[in-house]
Amino acid sequence: MGLLKRTAERPLEVKERDVKGAFERNIHARKGDAGRVLVIAGEERYAGATALASIAALRAGADSVVIAATKSVAEAVRPFSPDVILHACAGATWTEKHVKELSTLAERADVVLLGPGLGESDERAAFVNALASTLKTRLVLDADAAKQVIVKRVKNAIILANHAELAQFLSVNTLSRENARAHLGQNLLVSKGIIDAILAPDHEYAVTGGHPRATVAGTGDVLAGITAGLYAQNPNALLVAKASCLLAKKTAEKLGDEKDYAWIASDLLDALPGIIKELRVYRMTKYEPVRKH
DSSP 156: S
For the chain, the domain total comes to 1
Segments in the chain forming alpha helices (H)? 47-59, 71-77, 99-106, 122-134, 143-148, 163-172, 219-231, 237-259, 265-279
DSSP 197: E
CA–chain centroid gap for 256, Å, is 23
User: Domain of 206?
Assistant: 2-282
Cβ contact 83:58 at 8 Å? yes
- Which pLDDT score, from 0 to 100, does residue 291 have? 73
Query: Is residue 217 one of the residues assigned to a domain?
Result: yes
- Which pLDDT score, from 0 to 100, does residue 293 have? 60
- Which pLDDT score, from 0 to 100, does residue 292 have? 67
CA distance 89 to 74: 9
- Which pLDDT score, from 0 to 100, does residue 202 have? 81
CATH number of 74's domain: 3.40.1190.20
- Which pLDDT score, from 0 to 100, does residue 56 have? 98
CA distance 273 to 19: 15
Using DSSP's 3-state secondary structure scheme, residue 37 falls into: strand
For 36-65, what is each residue's pLDDT tens digit? 999 999 999 999 999 999 999 999 999 999
Regions of the chain where pLDDT drops below 70: 1-8, 292-293
Query: Is residue 291 one of the residues assigned to a domain?
Result: no
Query: Is residue 6 one of the residues assigned to a domain?
Result: yes
Strand partners, 207: 196
168-172 LR contacts (CB < 8 Å, sep 24+): 172/147, 172/148
Query: Is residue 289 one of the residues assigned to a domain?
Result: no
Query: Is residue 293 one of the residues assigned to a domain?
Result: no
Query: Is residue 288 one of the residues assigned to a domain?
Result: no
Q: Which residues contact 277 (CB under 8 A, 6 or more apart)?
A: none
Query: Is residue 292 one of the residues assigned to a domain?
Result: no
Query: Is residue 149 one of the residues assigned to a domain?
Result: yes
- Which pLDDT score, from 0 to 100, does residue 64 have? 98
DSSP 20: T
| CA 195-201-205 angle, 5° bins | 20
